[in-house]
Amino acid sequence: MGVPGLFRWLLRRFPVACWTSSRIEATGTQSLFVDLNSTLHHGARQSQGDFQAIATAVDDLVNLIQPSQLLYLAIDGVPPRMKERLQRERRERLASAPISSFNSYSITPGTSWMHRVEAYLCEFIEHKRKSDSNWQNLSVVFSGCQDPGEGEQKIMEYLRTRGFEGGHHCIWSNDADSVLLSLTTRVPNITMISERPKGGISTYTVFNIDMLREQMVSRYSSLLAEPSEELPCHVKVDRLYGLVDDLVFMTLFAGNDFLPAVSFVMEWLNEPDFIDNLLAMYGHLPAKHQCLHNRGQINPKAFRELLKVFVVEGEERSFRKHVGVTALGSQLTALRIRRMEWEIQREKAKGGDMENGDVSVSTSIANGCDVHAAKRKKGKAAQTKGMVPYVWTGPASALASMQTTDIALLAGSAPLPPSATLGFLSVDPSSNGSLLVLDGQPLLSPILLSSFNLMTNLAESPGTLEVLGTISSNKLKWLQSLAKVLQLECTVRTSSDPKFASECKKWKRKRYQPTGSPKDPGAMSATIVVGDLDLCSPTYIISLRAKKDRTPTDGMFQTVAVVGEDNWDMLYGDARTERRRDAELAEWRQGFYRRHYQQKGPQFIRHLCAYYADALGWTTMYYFAGDVSSWEFAWPDDIASSRDGVAPLASDLLEFLDPNMSDWQYLPVSDQAAPLAREHMLSIMPRPSWPLVLTEEERRLAHLLHDNKYSEITRQEVHSRLSAEYVPVVRVWL
Name, of 22-31, 90-99, 450-459, the range with top average pLDDT.
22-31
CA 579 to mean position of chain CA atoms: 31
For 609, residues 6+ apart whose C-beta sits below 8 A from its C-beta are 648, 652, 653, 656, 657
From the number of C-beta atoms within 10 Å of its C-beta (0-12, 13-18, 19+), residue 129 rates as middle
pTM above 0.85, yes or no: no
Residues 233-238 have a mean pLDDT of 54
Evaluate if residue 52 carries a pLDDT over 80: yes
Residues 370-389 have a mean pLDDT of 32
Query: pLDDT band at 414, cuts 50/70/90?
Result: very low
C-alpha span between 93 and 209 (Å, rounded): 35
Instruction: Express each pLDDT in 68-102 by its tens digit.
Output: 999 999 999 999 999 988 888 888 877 666 655 56
Q: Give residue 330's pLDDT.
A: 36
How far is residue 539 from each of residues 466, 468, 471, 545, measured CA to CA in Å?
Answer: 11, 10, 9, 20
Considering only the top CATH level, what class is 6-80+111-144+149-223?
Answer: alpha beta
CA 52 to mean position of chain CA atoms: 43
Q: Give residue 318's pLDDT.
A: 82
How far is residue 543 from each of residues 224, 505, 572, 709, measured CA to CA in Å?
Answer: 28, 14, 19, 61
Evaluate if residue 224 carries a pLDDT over 50: yes
Window from 66-80, 313-327, 605-619 with minimum mean pLDDT: 313-327
Name, of 36-40, 68-72, 522-526, the range with top average pLDDT.
68-72
For 368, residues 6+ apart whose C-beta sits below 8 A from its C-beta are 342, 417, 418, 419, 420
DSSP for 40-52 reads: HHHHHHHHTS-HH
Higher pLDDT, 697 or 385: 697
Higher pLDDT, 334 or 634: 634
Q: Give residue 1's pLDDT.
A: 55
Q: Give residue 277's pLDDT.
A: 87
Give the closest residue to 118 by CA, choosing from 139, 147, 78.
Answer: 147
Instruction: Express each pLDDT in 620-632 by its tens digit.
Output: 999 999 889 999 9
Window from 158-162, 428-432, 675-679 with minimum mean pLDDT: 428-432
Higher pLDDT, 378 or 45: 45
Q: Give residue 351's pLDDT.
A: 54
Instruction: Express each pLDDT in 560-601 by its tens digit.
Output: 333 333 332 333 333 344 445 667 778 888 888 888 887 778
C-alpha span between 211 and 168 (Å, rounded): 13
Evaluate if residue 675 carries a pLDDT over 50: yes
Report domain extents, the chain: 6-80+111-144+149-223, 242-328+596-656, 356-586
Residues 386-415 have a mean pLDDT of 31
Output the average pLDDT for the chain: 72
601: left (phi over 0), alpha (psi -120 to 50) or beta: beta
